[in-house]
Amino acid sequence: MTIVETVLVFALIPLAIYGVITLLTVRPKATRIPRYRPGQEWGYAPVWWSANPAGLSVEHHSAAEPGTSGSTAKGGARGNW
């Protein structure tokens, strides 16, 4: 084996493999859409999510007595309990 063949096998081929892996890793970051940052305007419709969609319907609030608002929940985002 000559010096050129040795350098090619032990240096350039592994560097080429690392370069391909690096490009495949960096490519998704360079091509994705910009992320939302706090303070930016939100241009999408609100989406309500529930792990139990049946629990969101009005029929399931049978615990409330007639004549009441039906909501007994307290608290919230401000932590008022």
- Report the run of H or E that residue 17 belongs to, with start and end: helix 13-31
Mean pLDDT of 20-29: 85
Q: What pLDDT score does 34 carry?
A: 78
Answer yes or no: is pLDDT of 19 > 70.
yes
CA–CA separation, 7 and 14 (whole Å): 10
pTM for the complete prediction? 0.37
Percent of the chain with pLDDT over 70: 60
pLDDT interval class at 20 (50, 70, 90):
very high
What does the pLDDT look like over 7-17, one tens digit per residue? Answer: 888 999 999 99
Q: Which residue has the tokens 């529930």?
A: 50
CA–CA separation, 10 and 70 (whole Å): 74
Terminal C-alpha separation, the chain: 79
Structure tokens at 58: 């009005």
Structure tokens at 57: 């319907």
What does the pLDDT look like over 33-44, one tens digit per residue? Answer: 777 888 888 888
